[in-house]
Structure 1
Amino acid sequence: MPALKFANILLEQNERSMSYPSLYCKSTEPVIFNKNEQAWELSGQGDFDFTTYFNSLSVEKLMRYTNAEGFRLHLELKGSAAKVLQTYADAFASHPILMEDNCIEVAPSDDFYEYELDIQVPNGSVLTGFKIETTGSLFLGNCYYIVNHSSPQKNVELVLATTTFKKESFIKHNISLVNQSILSSGEDIANHFNMHVVDNGRTLDVEKLTTEHIHIHPNNNVGGAGGFTYGMILAMEQQPKATHILLMDDDVAVSPESIKRTYNLLKILNDEYKNAFISGAMLNYEVGDEQWEDTGYMTERGTFAPAKPGLRLTKFEDIVYNETFWVPKEIRKSGQRYAAWWYCCMPIEVIEKNGLPLPVFVRCDDAEYGVRCKPHFITMNGLGIWHMSFHVRYNAAVERYQTTRNTLIAQHTTGFAPHSDFFAELRNNIRLELKKFGYENAELCLDAFEDFMKGPEFYSAQGMAEKTFMDANKNKEKLIPFDQLEKAAHAIGLTDFHIRDIDRQLIDSDKPRTFIQRASDLITDNNQHRIVSDGEGYAVIPVLGWAYPAGAIRGKKYLIVIDWYNRMGAIRTRDNNRYSVIKRRYKEDLKKYKQIKNDLSARYSQSRETVTSLEYWKSYLNI
């Protein structure tokens, strides 16, 4: 029966592995890299359990997605006497279940010896792993899982495409990892792999970074959508032509082993899943065992949401839950699920069938494409990246301008998310910003709506995507450093405001409201409509656009918004006249939309074939 070396037993030397070692191995003694031996050392008598996020084997998913028919564990060991025991978990396991009768006795030795364990898969198994009980120090050499499969392996040419804009440290580090751990690995992937870096900032040293399999492409600033589309075109036109493309953000940390496992998975997919999207999870860059998203979907109210609840991947029950979780039926049937492009692998054949992405610069490009293609989605423990926290990356130009405009464009062009009400989301966001005196950000929503009404000819014109995004960044609310914020507060009479008195508990707190107060806030938009007041005092609130500390903000004259992570903030002042102007503008925009709705929808729908075509994109990218 054919066999495939599927997954290396992974131990790493980096900040995350030091901070969260139980993502890799849970042990009673340290696991260290021995420089003299150039091998990992289980350092002392103890128990070392590899039934973890990175080192368990997802047998249930492998049986579902691939032609797998059996599994083996290959170990190369030297040192003290030890015992290797298989472990497994069913859907209800809160800790690894030991299989005492399926084990290997390891004799003490001064040289590496090879051992293989046939893995048993009891009924109901979700994942399997192994535990090593040592009598002293033991060294691990080349250790990995083998998958026996029933059909010939598929030919795979994998492209990793990433687009970057002036994030040299991230991208150079990832290029180095690819060189060291993939292209120099001696594994099959090394001969069937290319990395295309689309440099929208034109700041990378092309000559220094380019190799036979790593290619740097200086490019105009066309955003993530344009950069990833360029990557797709390069993958389709390279020699040999790629079979699959893995899209990955630039500002992420990745284990090269995730890429290797993705490649190996592609080689043995069964017919049902051969055109699936392989979606990598988003883990928290700063809290390395925290998983935020593992595929997402568009809600009925028009927001992006994770399909799974948040998990902590050093908890064994969460590792199991991550594998057993079934996306709720209402989400699956809605057809509104997608895989984000921080780590998403898709077949070139699917791209050729469904066309290229929309030229929307940033935001919604990946969601629209995933919904448009309607693929199966594959997720699995050990496949993913670490990305910066949402509160670190909050940008009103993205959330209020890009998201508002692009969701409407996508829905009208390709029928994206037909069950989502993006007009309701527009209305809610404008009201939310107005209640919090975020007038600049409310105006960004209207800028987006008005630019959407200019039709496909406007947003798809060469250079317009960058210009409109730069304009949005110019027009959004400006934050200033804490020391300047305190001086600005004192200058307008808020002399009791001191940064030293502020903490996260205060920023994130709210106050209760009575029913009457809630009704009043709803009717008056925090006393800016019908019952109008000048307000008094101030409140401190988070900068995040979706935060609504309704009790804290009601009746205030000033709101001090805080971005605590970046130590920035802004002072918002109640302006009832500006509120009225924005409300009037919104009303006039809605009236205009009703007049042009049918014609506008038809123009967007008719533009689909053009803006997703290879010919359009080559012209747009100056290829």
Structure 2
Amino acid sequence: LKNLQALAADVSSLETLDAIYVADQGTDLVESRDGFEQVAKDLGDKLHYIKQPNLGGAGGFTRGLYEVAGHTATEHANVLFMDDDVLLEPDLVIRMTAFSNRAANPIIVGGQMLNLFHPNQLHVGAEYARLNTLEPGQPVEHSLTTADLLGVDEETLKPNRQERRLDAGYNGWWSCLIPYEVVQATGYPMPFFFQWDDAEYSYRARAHGFPTVTLPGAGVWHADFHMKDWDEWHRYFNLRNSIITAALHSPFNLNLLSRVLLAQLVRYLLGMQYGLSATLIKAVEDFLEGPEILRDGGVEAMQEIRRIRDQYPETKRHKATDVPGIASNDIGIINSAPPPSRTAVVLIKRLLDQTRGRHRYGLGAVPADEAHWWHTSLFGTVVVTDANQDGVRVRSYDRAKTLDLAKRGIRVIQRLRKEGAAVQERYLSAVPELTSRENWTRLYGL
């Protein structure tokens, strides 16, 4: 609602826009809010308010492409994706549209992200993903990263500047402009529900000859990523969709990928994150199910992963002043040591100690940014602050869960090594159908 009001109040930006699509997938509808009726009048015929099933971010963003492409007269259009929870500077619309219209060839134009809670701070100047190791958000070489745009470079002591040309691998869909020509050649986004839909689309578009540019001086403010907790249900989509993207756009070295997943699983188990371990296992299992897992756009998967995680107590958030069974005056903060210099040796030692039921600390509290596996594995029970600072979670060592999840995890990762290449071929074959207009018509129930 605030972003619609910002656009309605900025004449120049509003004149640049032919249409504004709002895909409302919630139960707390935008149209029920005070102020919507007035902003709808202010925007007039340009506003298209659509209610649809909850198909996640991918389904919401794709609806805009779907509506624009549905006009038979469409030869060219710039479709600008934007998150609903950003702080918008309306001039963004003018800058990104002008840049796109002056490009020699059609390109994806990304807006930058600035950190909402640190307003002078740029998240990253341009980024790419290490696909085979499932690592998004990697800064392009020479890119500014968590940089104070009003500050100075620590090496040169000169003001930070963004003018250097950088080649982005992809751009987050907090603000991202996609010309219609790209859609004609590339198709629609994958029905991923959310997470990695932006990266997959940019890498697919690049394969069709359309690069991505992250445009300096055009951006939105978005909640700082470091204040989002990693151990949430959406981690399932992050993992599952990253493996699918790797299968589609990387060499898909299954030995390397298996080592990456096994290392993640071991760290989660050592850190007593049993729900997160189960989340990883479910993500790999569902990848191995093949493209059929995407047929409903992710609705069933969202419900199922929430049910699975609900079985693990450490996934529950509590008030810091009301931790079940633990009085606040019984807990002291125990800070982490620096990262170990001999990681493998420390990892084996922690595994042996946990297996034998040896814990250096019976109970303690740990801040979010110090909740490393080598530290939390020293506790019998540890109270860990959430990254968003809104609450805490209680992790307690459970030998039975550790052994069960370890066995299940090793089995499914072994399956990935054996079956992954055949499953990859199924995903590659399914892309044209999954990203077709007909598939999205079906998902929208139209």
Q: Aligned partners of 2:330 and 2:400: how far apart in 1? A: 28
Q: Which residue of 1 aligns with 2:98?
A: 264
Q: Is the aligned partner of 1:481 residue 2:319?
A: yes
Alignment counterpart, residue 6 of structure 2, candidates 161, 164, 177:
177
Q: Is the aligned partner of 1:443 residue 2:278?
A: yes
Q: Which residue of 2 aligns with 1:469?
A: 302
Q: Which residue of 2 aligns with 1:428?
A: 263
Q: Which residue of 2 aligns with 1:56?
A: none
2:146 is matched by which residue type in structure 1?
G
CA positional deviation for 1:322? 1.6
CA positional deviation for 1:398? 5.0
CA positional deviation for 1:298? 1.1
Alignment counterpart, residue 229 of structure 2, candidates 369, 394, 397:
394
| Partners of 1:301 and 1:424 within 8 A in 2 | no
1:296 is matched by which residue type in structure 2?
E
Gap regions ≥5 residues in structure 1: 1-171
Alignment counterpart, residue 15 of structure 2, candidates 177, 182, 190:
190
Q: Aligned partners of 1:276 and 1:316: how far apart in 2? A: 31
1:511 is matched by which residue type in structure 2?
A
Relative to its length, the structure with more strand (as a share) is: 1
Alignment counterpart, residue 162 of structure 2, candidates 309, 312, 322:
322
In 2 relative to 1, CA 262–279 (structure 1 residues): closer, same or farther, beyond 3 Å? Answer: same
Q: Aligned partners of 1:398 and 1:293: how far apart in 2? A: 25
- 2:30 counterpart SS class: coil
Q: Which residue of 2 aligns with 1:117?
A: none
| Partners of 1:543 and 1:569 within 8 A in 2 | no
In 2 relative to 1, CA 350–319 (structure 1 residues): closer, same or farther, beyond 3 Å? Answer: farther
Q: Aligned partners of 2:251 and 2:49: how far apart in 1? A: 35
In 2 relative to 1, CA 366–528 (structure 1 residues): closer, same or farther, beyond 3 Å? Answer: farther
1:523 is matched by which residue type in structure 2?
I
Alignment counterpart, residue 228 of structure 1, candidates 49, 61, 72:
61
Alignment counterpart, residue 373 of structure 1, candidates 205, 209, 220:
205
CA positional deviation for 1:606? 1.3
| Partners of 2:195 and 2:241 within 8 A in 1 | yes
Q: Aligned partners of 1:416 and 1:369: how far apart in 2? A: 14
Q: Is the aligned partner of 1:454 residue 2:278?
A: no
RMSD: 2.8
In 2 relative to 1, CA 398–348 (structure 1 residues): closer, same or farther, beyond 3 Å? Answer: farther
Q: Aligned partners of 1:591 and 1:407: how far apart in 2? A: 18
Q: Aligned partners of 1:177 and 1:351: how far apart in 2? A: 28
In 2 relative to 1, CA 433–610 (structure 1 residues): closer, same or farther, beyond 3 Å? Answer: same
Q: Which residue of 2 aligns with 1:592?
A: 415
1:478 is matched by which residue type in structure 2?
K
CA positional deviation for 1:426? 2.0
Q: Aligned partners of 1:268 and 1:519: how far apart in 2? A: 53
Q: Which residue of 2 aligns with 1:347?
A: 179
CA offsets 1:357-410 (integer angstroms, 9 cap, x no match):
111101000011111111333333320000001233325335631111111122
% identity of equivalent residues: 22
CA offsets 1:10-40 (integer angstroms, 9 cap, x no match):
xxxxxxxxxxxxxxxxxxxxxxxxxxxxxxx
TM-score (norm: length of structure 1): 0.62
| Partners of 1:432 and 1:548 within 8 A in 2 | no
Q: Which residue of 2 aligns with 1:254?
A: 88
CA positional deviation for 1:441? 0.8
Alignment counterpart, residue 429 of structure 2, candidates 606, 613, 617:
606
CA positional deviation for 1:289? 0.4
Which stretch has the larger CA shift, 358-367 or 557-566? 557-566
Q: Aligned partners of 1:319 and 1:200: how far apart in 2? A: 43
| Partners of 1:355 and 1:613 within 8 A in 2 | yes
Q: Aligned partners of 2:201 and 2:253: how far apart in 1? A: 16
2:437 is matched by which residue type in structure 1?
L
- 2:289 counterpart SS class: coil
| Partners of 2:272 and 2:395 within 8 A in 1 | yes
| Partners of 1:401 and 1:445 within 8 A in 2 | yes
- 1:583 counterpart SS class: helix
Q: Aligned partners of 1:425 and 1:324: how far apart in 2? A: 33
| Partners of 2:125 and 2:139 within 8 A in 1 | yes
Q: Aligned partners of 2:330 and 2:368: how far apart in 1? A: 21
| Partners of 1:199 and 1:218 within 8 A in 2 | yes
CA offsets 1:185-233 (integer angstroms, 9 cap, x no match):
4x7x616521111111151218835421111110110000111111111
Alignment counterpart, residue 310 of structure 1, candidates 146, 155, 166:
146
- 1:322 counterpart SS class: coil
Q: Which residue of 2 aligns with 1:569?
A: 392
* 1:116-131 map, 5 Å: none
Gap regions ≥5 residues in structure 2: 310-314
1:559 is matched by which residue type in structure 2?
V
| Partners of 1:431 and 1:525 within 8 A in 2 | no
Q: Which residue of 2 aligns with 1:127?
A: none
| Partners of 1:510 and 1:550 within 8 A in 2 | no
CA offsets 1:432-463 (integer angstroms, 9 cap, x no match):
11111111111110011111111111x22226
In 2 relative to 1, CA 226–450 (structure 1 residues): closer, same or farther, beyond 3 Å? Answer: same
Q: Which residue of 2 aligns with 1:558?
A: 381
Q: Which residue of 1 aligns with 2:312?
A: none
In 2 relative to 1, CA 240–196 (structure 1 residues): closer, same or farther, beyond 3 Å? Answer: farther
CA positional deviation for 1:604? 1.5
Q: Which residue of 2 aligns with 1:283?
A: 114
CA positional deviation for 1:554? 4.3
Q: Aligned partners of 1:417 and 1:279: how far apart in 2? A: 26
| Partners of 1:407 and 1:422 within 8 A in 2 | no
TM-score (norm: length of structure 2): 0.85
Relative to its length, the structure with more helix (as a share) is: 2
Alignment counterpart, residue 511 of structure 1, candidates 337, 350, 353:
337
CA positional deviation for 1:570? 1.3
- 1:250 counterpart SS class: coil
Report the number of matched residues: 418
Alignment counterpart, residue 125 of structure 2, candidates 290, 294, 301:
294
CA positional deviation for 1:316? 6.2
CA offsets 1:233-257 (integer angstroms, 9 cap, x no match):
1121247635111111111011011
* 1:200-211 map, 5 Å: 200-201=25-26, 203-205=29-31, 208=37, 210=40, 211=44
| Partners of 1:278 and 1:379 within 8 A in 2 | yes
- 2:113 counterpart SS class: strand
Q: Aligned partners of 1:419 and 1:591: how far apart in 2? A: 14
Q: Is the aligned partner of 1:219 residue 2:52?
A: yes
